[in-house]
Structure formats: structure tokens, C-alpha cells
Amino acid sequence: MLKKPCEAVSIDNYITGSKESFIGEISDPRIRRIEGDITKPLSLEGGADFIVHAAGLASPVYYRKFPLETIDSAIMGAKNLLELARVKNAQSFLFFSSSEIYGDPDPNFIPTPETYRGNVSCIGPRACYDESKRLTETLCMTYHQLYQVPVKIVRPFNVYGPGMKANDYRVVPTFLARGLSGQSLPVHDKGNQTRTFCYISDAMPGFFKVLLSAPGGEVYNVGRDEEEVNMMTLANMVSDLFPGRVRAQLVKYPEIYPADEPQRRCPDLAKIRGQLGYAPQVDLNTGLSRTLAWFRDAMPPAGECIS
């Protein structure tokens, strides 16, 4: 897409950090950043061929701290962006939903297909995130049905890689940053919760395939369906990257982290593989090593705080 003349416009209120902590300095004249609030009505000069709603507070520590903002950014943000897509006659609208909309899946539905309707609490500590994503999917499909907005939805499964924040309590950056500091790797509860992890260079082609090639009104899982590992195994894999320096340690859930996390999470990728040719390539060990290399460069000098 970037081979054609185009301009990318990002809108962010930077509620979780400064501009520089996310993407640093950008010199490409085709990329324009706007500090703004998508929960308010939007106006944009010129056309808008592709609109991506990726705004949200995806880390449990953030949606525990900002529950109302989590709800508003998903639902009100989508309403305003969908209206913009309708007015601008956008070619494609992509909404970043979440694997969290499946809740804690029935074991008979793991790997989990897009047709699974979920096992989600509407009043639990994660509900502000899970349920706002579910309602936003409904809103997107309603705009597709009423106004023919070419809506596509992705449900990412534990995407990781360079650029993540070390202090937002997501497991991969937490383990790697603590390993670099020589600290123990905190494994919540018994450590038997399982996940699959998708490296960013595998996830991005999936997102673009959906944005550019999927038909409107469709939903796709994006992730990796191999190497479903429990958290203790993941901690041991990370500790192997720091031989003799760090070890895993079982801990209770911290107060700022919602404790009702799913026991298992693994996507069924048959739909996106069959329809769009999606094929993730990076195994977990390789992805962890690449992410660690980025963290080595990003970590501040001793005594400073990484965000």
C-alpha cells in the first residue's frame, strides 16, 4: 500500500504515555500525528480511504485503572470513526477487537473459532474491556448492515514484540525487562494458564490482509495456533535467555491486575488461512530472542525507569 502516494494520520490522546514513549521521532512526511480524542466527533480534511480503529487500553493494568476510558475509547471511538468512514465513503474499515471477547472458553472450543460466542462475565473485573469490545463488534456490524460500511474485524491473540512497554503487566515484556534487571520472573497463581504467542512480524501481515483483501462484514482471528505453553513454561524459556541469572517465582495476583483471566487461549486459524493465506512463521524462542534484543537497546541506564 505504501508504494502508492498516501498519507497516514494517527490520532491518540496518549493517556498511557508520551508520544516519544510510543513511536519516538518520525521524519517520514507521509505520517502525520494528531493528539486528540476519538470519543469526540471527528473532522478530517480530505478523503479517508482506509480507517483503522486500534485505539484502546489493551493491558489489564490500564483497563483496571481507566475502566470508563476503556469503554468510551472502544464504543464512542468506534461510533465516531464509523461515522467518518460512512461520510468519507472509506474503502475499508478495520476494527481491532480482542481474543478477550471469547472470555474463558469451553475446553471443547479450543482452538477457538470465530463462531464461538464466548464465556464472558459482564460484571467481572475485566468486563469493561471484554464487553466494550463485544459491543463495538455489534456496532461495526450494524454500520455494515445499515450503511454498507466495509467493516472488517480482527481478534488478535497475544501479539508481542519490539515496542512494548515494560511496566504494563503484560507477560512477555514483564519477563524480559525483569530478566535484564536480574529480577525474578513473577508467575501468577499456579502458573498453569496457557497461551499461544504471535510475534509482531507475523501479526502485521494478518492485519493488512484483512484490511486490504477481506470482504466486508467478516471477522478473523489473528495469532499463532502452535506452541500453547503455560506461564511457568514461558518463564522457564525466558530464564534460559539469562543462564544462571534469573528464575521463575510463583506469586499472588497483584491488586492492580484483574485475577479472572482465562485458563486457556489458542486461536483456530482455519478461516484466515483458508481465505487470506495467512501463515505465521516465527516460533516462540525466536520471537523472544528478537524481542530481548530490542529491550537490550531500549532499557535505560541503571537507576532509571523504563516505560
Res 64: pLDDT: 85
Sign, CA dihedral 281-115-212-154, equals negative
> Predicted confidence band at 198 (pLDDT cuts at 50, 70, 90)?
very high
- According to the model, what pLDDT value does residue 255 have? 74
Shortest CA distance to 286 belongs to which of 246, 237, 245? 237
pLDDT single digits (tens) 57-77:
888 888 888 999 999 999 999
Mean model confidence pLDDT for the chain = 91
Q: Which whole number is the average pLDDT over 205-214?
A: 98
Per-residue model confidence (pLDDT) at position 26: 67
Q: Is 129 among the residues known to form the active site?
A: yes
- The domain segmentation of the chain, as residue ranges, is 8-162+197-229+264-283
**CA separation for the pair 99, 84 (Å, rounded):** 26
Catalytic residue among 63, 116, 129, 160: 129
Whole-angstrom distance, CA of residue 47 vs CA of residue 274: 33
Q: Give percent above pLDDT 70 in the chain.
A: 92
Q: What is the DSSP letter of 253?
A: P
Structure confidence at residue 24 (pLDDT):
57
Reply yes or no on whether the pLDDT at 183 is more than 60. Answer: yes
Gyration radius of the chain over CA positions: 19
Q: For the residues of 78-145, what is the DSSP string, one character each?
A: HHHHHHHHHHHT-SEEEEE--GGGGBS--GGG-SBPTT---B--SSSTTHHHHHHHHHHHHHHHHHHH
pLDDT band at 29 (very low <50, low <70, confident <90, very high): confident
Q: What is the pLDDT of residues 237-288, one digit of tens each?
A: 999 999 999 999 999 887 777 667 899 999 999 999 999 999 999 999 999 9
Distance CA 229, CA 224 (A): 12
Taking residues 88-100, report their average pLDDT: 97
Q: What is the CATH number of domain 8-162+197-229+264-283?
A: 3.40.50.720
**The total number of residues written for the chain in this structure:** 307
Give CA–CA dist 92/149, Å, rounded.
8
Specify the DSSP class assigned to residue 84: H
Global pTM reads 0.93
Alpha-carbon dihedral of residues 160, 161, 162, 165, nearest 10 degrees?
30
Do residues 155 and 221 touch, judged by C-beta distance below 8 A?
Answer: yes
pLDDT value for 13: 86
